[in-house]
């Protein structure tokens, strides 16, 4: 308490400039981390008004223009006792803790409360799609805007996300990872990027080569559509409720677990007992409610889809080597010679591609097919 | 000369740090606070042994109605051309299901209860970990036992895992930090199994028979160590496990010792290209065995050098003072079977000052060897290190896992407690001697991952550079 109260009361912000350099490197680390790159771009498109569109670290230009004065002012307003919540769990005596808290924290002056956020994210008016090019294998994120607690619909979302991806019996695990084997890791479903304002239901998946982002995306939509037409089974619902109880018991087994349960309840839900209440509310969720929120929120108009595609530096000579010159005219003729549905599928695939490298690779593949089909040779003879 | 300047700067910083609480005036400096001696009471460890020869430990914990069981099975490296086999075995046993519990039924039952049975491990062990509510103990133990004794190894699950591992290999160069860690271990250990990795060829070479053989060779009660914690008594758990594992048969298991590491530390420089705007730096050499009598001195030496986060020299110099990198420090890994790696790291380093980071890290290693810590630095490090140990005792299941690990490594079970006494008595001279002996300043291997076009000067300024071609197969 000596240290924490001192930090709240009289911070000095030593080494400000070198630490700012450090944070700039932290910022660059997220530019070099393919998952962070995708995540940041995704949030910045999914949100237009809500501050969730900004990464926690800010952008490089924010860091370049931050000075010590600005930092101190931010600290004064936000890191004030009237804006803080403390939880103590462990081998302590409550009376002694109160006494110490008074001794160390009571003299720190309250500040005017931080200005409330008045901006609200407006309703999304159509699907948003984005593509990030990076030197890493493909990955995708799909997000749907949704309400947060205490909106009763938020509680049903917890059930919905467990139905989709809560364990090996969940739907995305079974269909996409296990049966269709479209991914090498089970898709993830979570709520993000924060819990203070209306947020997103996010689905993340990485296609397993040679499967494509488009294939995985379609497979995810098939599962989402099922949520809208068929009620969740009683066994699925009961499993989720059983897991909820077990999770709560386990959390009470560790000091940190208890502390987080109380703290999250207090700061996000306005009551330190709220997590327990929320669990009780989740147990009341019905299959119909899950179907209702799926129909209401999990619609194209309300979604943002981000693709990360791999772009490698131009290969140095001899490295790939196989890229063969092909005659565009011949290739076009080959595609047109295919049955109409196939030809259309090829054209659609080209249209869905986001990078030149991807198109070139696919063109090469088609060229090989054309040759294998004897098409190229025949054409030459004519 | 440079060294003296450094110490001068440090003295000034210390003086300022000591002066500030006087300015604040309201509170005592944390180091002036008096605390009662930290008294760690260790819970009772109860030996348990089963009819089939499986032995281990129990720590009772009635706080919540949960029971955790771990069984560690000793294994060994596969043939190098089948590297990846161990990982595949663990996954396929758990996800392929067993005679009475085929995959779908198994998952449905465990998630409905709910309970968990997971299997993981490295080259030298497979660990089966079960966790459940006390009321479900018998059921969960019978599931766990069937997985241990009667796994099905279905072909489709083997192919699924193979394909997933091939995809992981395809993705293994996506994250710069992963590249640095993996390639550096290969540099240090060379052809020793600790430097092996799965490749498309090795993963493709594993056959179903290899998995079946692996299981038949190692999965026996006399080749395993048991650890139990939670709301259960010795009589209850012995009865339950004797019933569940009664069919588990003993067999002679002959596990060869881990080969000695033949690679010798030698100065070398390595570079791997990655299209990023920072440098990831690894600097180090082979370290020591964990039963080395100097291991406590080495631990504290490294704690001061770079292991102790913000109190360590490397973090202070590279990060706090110069702002060159977000994540920097050092690790002196110790290994019970061969030798562990020593390395200092600077992840996400400013590309156009990367050479400064290398020089600073090397200077700190020199400083540790020639000057060493002050008495005050040593006492702070030991206090901080020992006080941190209290968190090793806050979870009973964590304690049981640690005991299982010690037994597996063949070390005395009271090693942590005995070490605490050694730590408390360490002298500056012992630290300096450990640094002198176990930090090889002129035999450091250096690896830099990044884009050399953005570097302030070529790595070849330090010495001859070997370029690593990163593979995705």
Between CA B151 and CA B208 the distance in angstroms is 12
> For residue B195, what pLDDT is reported?
95
Mind telling me how many Å the CA of A332 is from chain B's nearest CA? Answer: 32
Candidates B325, B317, B314; CA nearest to B352 is: B325
For residue B41, tell me if it sits in a domain: no
pLDDT for A363: 76
Distances (CA, A) of B444 to B265, B286, B294, B341: 7, 9, 21, 12
Residue spans per domain, chain A: 2-105, 128-307, 315-381
- Select from B20, B65, B348 the Cβ nearest to the Cβ of A26: B348
Contact B171 A136 (CB under 8 A): yes
From start to end of A108-229, where are the E strands?
128-134, 139-146, 188-192, 199-205
3-state secondary structure at position B280: strand
Residues B114 and B214 in one domain: yes
8-state DSSP, A230:
S
Q: With 0.90 as the threshold, say if the pTM is over it.
A: no
Query: Cβ A239–B323 below 8 Å, yes or no?
Result: no
- Shared fold status for A2-105 and A128-307: yes
State the helix-helix crossing angle for B428-438 and B375-388, rounded to 10 degrees: 80
Percentages of chain A per state (helix, strand, coil), in multiples of 5: 55, 10, 35
- Examine residue B258 and state whether it is found in any structural domain, yes or no: no
* Beta-carbon separation of B278 and A235 below 8 A: no
Instruction: Please report the number of interchain residue pairs, chain A to chain B, with beta-carbon separation below 8 angstroms.
Output: 134
pLDDT tens digits along B178-223: 999 999 999 999 999 999 999 999 999 999 999 999 999 999 999 9
Give CA separation, B149 vs A95, B308, B376, B473, in Å: 54, 44, 56, 34
Task: Verify whether the Cβ–Cβ distance B163 to A208 is below 8 Å.
Answer: yes
pLDDT in the model for residue A349: 72
* Domain end (from B194, B215, B244): B244
Question: Where is average pLDDT lowest: A82-86, A334-338, B164-168, B440-444?
Answer: A334-338
One domain for residues B4 and B64: no
Q: Average pLDDT of chain B? A: 92
Contact residues, chain A, for B327 at CB < 8 Å: 29
Query: Residues B114-125: what's their mean pLDDT?
Result: 96
What average pLDDT values come out for chain A (382 residues) when binned by 10 residues? 92 90 95 97 97 94 93 94 94 94 94 93 97 96 94 94 96 98 98 94 97 98 97 95 90 90 89 88 94 98 97 52 60 73 73 66 75 59 37
Q: Which CATH number do you get for residue B225?
A: 3.30.830.10
Contact assignment for B107 to A169 by CB distance below 8 Å: yes
Spatial contact of B121 and B90, defined as CB atoms under 8 Å apart: yes
d(CA B106, CA B119): 14
What does the CA dihedral B261, B262, B263, B264 come to, rounded to 10 degrees? 100
A3 contacts on B by Cβ (under 8 Å)? 30
Upper half-sphere CA count for residue A149 (Cβ side, 13 Å): 21
Looking at residue B224, its pLDDT comes to 98
For B135, the closest chain A residue by CA position comes to A246
Top-confidence residue, A245 or B359: B359
- pLDDT at position B30 is 79
Q: How far is B25 from chain A (nearest CA, A)?
A: 10
Query: Is B231 within a domain?
Result: yes
Report how far apart, in Å, the C-alpha atoms of A264 and of each of A259, A274, B198 are.
Answer: 8, 8, 42
**B131 shares a domain with B3:** no
Number of H helices, E strands in chain A: 17, 5
B254 domain-assigned: no
Q: How far is A15 from chain B, CA to nearest CA, in Å?
A: 7
Please give the full DSSP string across A132-160, using - where no structure is assigned: EEESS--EEEEEEEE--TTSHHHHHHHHH
Contact partners, residue A258, CB within 8 Å, separation at least 6: A89, A251, A252
The confidence score (pLDDT) of residue B39 equals 74
- Give the integer Cα–Cα distance in Å for B453 and B273: 10
Confidence at residue A362, expressed as pLDDT on a 0 to 100 scale: 74
Which residue in A43, A64, A236, A61 sits closest to A145, CA to CA? A43
Identify whether residues B15 and B51 lie together within a single domain.
no
Task: For residues B253 and B251, give the distance between their C-alpha atoms in angstroms, rounded to a whole number.
Answer: 6
Flag whether pLDDT at B251 surpasses 70.
yes
Residues B170 and B295 both lie in one domain: no
Architecture of domain A128-307: 2-Layer Sandwich (3.30)
Q: How far apart are CA A44 and CA A49, in angstroms?
A: 10
Q: Which pair of structure tokens corresponds to residue A69?
A: 């004065």
Task: Tell me how close the Cα of B273 comes to any Cα of chain A, in angstroms.
Answer: 11
The residue with tokens 């259960």 is B232
Contacts of A255 in chain B (CB under 8 A): 394
pLDDT surpasses 70 at B18: no
Same domain? For B150 and B170 the reply is: yes
Task: List the single residue in B with minimal CA-CA distance to A238.
Answer: B112
**Domain residues for B391?**
264-468
pLDDT of residue B69: 98
Closest-CA residue to B403 (of B415, B418, B385): B415
Residue A354's pLDDT is 60
How do residues B376-420 score in pLDDT, each as one tens digit? 999 999 999 988 888 888 889 999 999 999 999 999 999 998 999
Tens digit of each residue's pLDDT (9 = 90 or more) over B316-336: 999 999 999 999 999 999 899
The confidence score (pLDDT) of residue A377 equals 52
Is position B40 within any domain?
A: no
N-term to C-term CA, chain A: 89
pLDDT digits (tens, 9 = 90+) for A127-140: 999 999 999 999 99
Q: Is a pLDDT exceeding 70 seen at residue B11?
A: no
Sequence-distant (6+) residues with CB within 8 A of A142 are A202, A203, A217, A220, A303, A304, A305, A306
Beta strands per DSSP E along B14-137: 46-49, 55-60, 66-74, 116-121, 125-133
Instruction: Give chain A positions within 8 Å (CB) of B30.
Output: 2-3
Nearest to A313 by CA among B452, B199, B348: B452
Largest CA distance in chain A: 97
Q: What is the mean pLDDT of residues B432-443?
A: 97
B241 half-sphere exposure, CB direction, 13 A CA radius = 29
Q: How far is CA B263 from CA A65, B6, B187, B341, in A?
A: 50, 34, 9, 12
Interface contact B26-A168, CB threshold 8 A: no
CATH of segment(s) A2-105:
3.30.830.10
Q: How far is A204 from chain B (nearest CA, A)?
A: 16
Domains in chain B: how many in total? 3
Q: Would you say B401 and B395 are in contact if contact means Cβ atoms under 8 Å apart?
A: no
CA gap A126, B162 in Å, rounded: 40
Give the residue among B79, B105, B82 at the shortest CA–CA distance from B158: B82
Q: Please state the rounded mean pLDDT for residues B26-43.
A: 79
Cα angle vertex A275, ends A273, A280, to 5°?
100
- Number of neighbours of residue A127 by Cβ within 10 angstroms: 12
CA A78 from chain centre, in angstroms, equals 27
Complex ipTM value = 0.89
- φ/ψ of residue B319, rounded to 5: -95, -60
pLDDT digits (tens, 9 = 90+) for B145-156: 999 999 999 999
Average predicted confidence (pLDDT) for chain A: 89
Omega before A67 within 30 of 0, i.e. cis: no
A188-192, strands of its sheet edge to edge: A128-134, A303-310, A139-146, A199-205, A188-192
pLDDT of residue A319: 41
**Within a domain: residue B259?**
no
Q: Residue B350: beta bridge partners?
A: B278
């Amino acid at each position: 308490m000596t240290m924490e109260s001192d930090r709240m009361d009289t911070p000095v912000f030593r080494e400000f400039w070198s630490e700012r350099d450090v944070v700039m490197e932290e910022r660059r680390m997220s530019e070099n981390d393919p998952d962070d790159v995708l995540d940041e771009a995704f949030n910045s498109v999914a949100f237009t008004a809500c501050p969730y569109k900004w990464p926690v670290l800010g952008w490089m230009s924010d860091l370049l223009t931050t000075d010590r004065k600005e930092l101190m002012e931010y600290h004064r307003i936000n890191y004030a006792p009237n804006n803080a919540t403390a939880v103590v769990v462990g081998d302590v005596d409550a009376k002694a803790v109160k006494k110490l808290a008074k001794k160390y924290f009571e003299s720190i002056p309250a500040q005017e409360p931080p200005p409330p956020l008045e901006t609200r994210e407006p309703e999304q008016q159509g699907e948003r799609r984005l593509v990030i090019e990076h030197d890493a294998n493909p990955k995708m994120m799909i997000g749907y805007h949704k309400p947060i607690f205490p909106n009763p619909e938020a509680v049903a979302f917890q059930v919905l996300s467990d139905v989709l991806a809560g364990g090996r019996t969940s739907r995305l695990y079974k269909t996409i990872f296990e049966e269709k084997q479209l991914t090498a890791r089970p898709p993830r479903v979570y709520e993000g990027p924060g819990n203070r304002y209306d947020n997103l239901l996010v689905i993340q998946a990485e296609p397993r080569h040679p499967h494509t982002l488009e294939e995985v995306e379609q497979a995810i939509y098939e599962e989402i559509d099922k949520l809208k037409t068929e009620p969740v089974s009683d066994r699925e619902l009961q499993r989720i409720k059983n897991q909820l109880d077990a999770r709560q018991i386990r959390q009470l087994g560790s000091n940190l677990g208890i502390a987080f349960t109380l703290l999250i309840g207090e700061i996000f839900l306005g009551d330190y007992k709220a997590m327990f209440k929320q669990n009780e509310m989740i147990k009341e969720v019905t299959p119909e409610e899950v179907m209702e929120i799926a129909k209401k929120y999990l619609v194209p108009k309300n979604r943002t889809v981000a693709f990360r595609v791999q772009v490698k530096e131009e290969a140095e000579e001899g490295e790939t080597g196989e890229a063969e010159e092909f005659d565009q005219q011949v290739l076009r003729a080959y595609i047109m010679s295919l049955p109409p549905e196939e030809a259309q599928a090829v054209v659609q695939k080209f249209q869905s591609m986001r990078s030149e490298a991807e198109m070139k690779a696919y063109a090469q593949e088609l060229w090989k097919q054309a040759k294998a089909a004897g098409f190229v040779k025949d054409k030459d003879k004519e | 000369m440079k060294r003296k300047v450094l110490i001068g700067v440090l003295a000034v910083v210390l003086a300022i740090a000591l002066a500030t609480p006087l300015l604040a005036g309201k509170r005592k400096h944390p180091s002036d606070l008096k605390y009662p001696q930290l008294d760690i009471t260790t819970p009772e460890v109860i030996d348990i042994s089963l009819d089939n020869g499986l032995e281990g430990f129990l720590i009772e914990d009635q706080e919540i109605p949960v029971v955790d069981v771990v069984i560690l099975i000793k294994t060994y490296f596969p043939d190098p051309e089948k590297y990846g086999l161990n990982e595949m075995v663990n996954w396929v046993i758990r996800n392929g299901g067993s005679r009475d519990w085929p995959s779908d039924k198994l998952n449905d039952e465990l998630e409905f209860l709910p309970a968990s049975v997971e299997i993981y491990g490295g080259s030298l062990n497979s660990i089966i970990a079960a966790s459940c509510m006390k009321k479900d103990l018998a059921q969960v133990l019978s599931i766990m036992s069937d997985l241990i004794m009667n796994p099905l190894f279905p072909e489709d699950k083997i192919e699924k895992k193979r394909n997933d591992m091939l995809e992981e290999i395809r993705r293994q160069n996506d994250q710069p930090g992963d590249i640095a860690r993996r390639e550096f271990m290969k540099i240090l250990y060379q052809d020793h199994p600790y430097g092996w990795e799965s490749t498309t060829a090795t993963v493709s070479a594993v056959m179903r028979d290899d998995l079946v053989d692996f299981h038949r060779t190692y999965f026996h009660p006399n080749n395993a160590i048991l650890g139990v914690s939670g709301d259960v008594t010795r009589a209850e758990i012995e009865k339950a496990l004797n019933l569940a594992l009664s069919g588990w048969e003993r067999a002679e298991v002959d596990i060869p010792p881990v080969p000695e590491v033949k690679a010798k530390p030698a100065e070398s420089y390595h570079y791997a290209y990655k299209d990023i705007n920072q440098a990831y730096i690894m600097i180090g050499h082979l370290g020591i065995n964990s039963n080395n009598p100097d291991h406590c001195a080495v631990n504290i030496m490294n704690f001061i050098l770079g292991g102790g986060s913000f109190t360590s020299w490397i973090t202070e110099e590279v990060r706090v003072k110069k702002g060159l990198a977000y994540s920097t420090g050092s690790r002196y890994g110790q290994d019970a079977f061969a030798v562990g790696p020593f390395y200092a790291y600077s992840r996400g380093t400013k590309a156009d000052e990367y050479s400064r980071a290398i020089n600073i890290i090397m200077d700190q290693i020199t400083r540790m060897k020639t000057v060493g810590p002050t008495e005050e630095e040593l006492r702070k490090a030991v206090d901080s290190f020992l006080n941190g140990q209290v968190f090793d005792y806050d979870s009973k299941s964590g304690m049981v896992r640690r005991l299982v690990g010690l037994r597996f490594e063949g070390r005395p079970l009271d090693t942590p407690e005995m070490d605490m006494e050694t730590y408390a008595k360490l002298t500056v001279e012992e630290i300096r001697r450990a640094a002198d002996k176990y930090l090889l300043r002129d035999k450091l291997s250096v690896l830099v991952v990044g884009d050399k076009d953005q570097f302030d000067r070529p790595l070849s300024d330090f010495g001859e550079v070997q370029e690593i071609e990163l593979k995705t197969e």
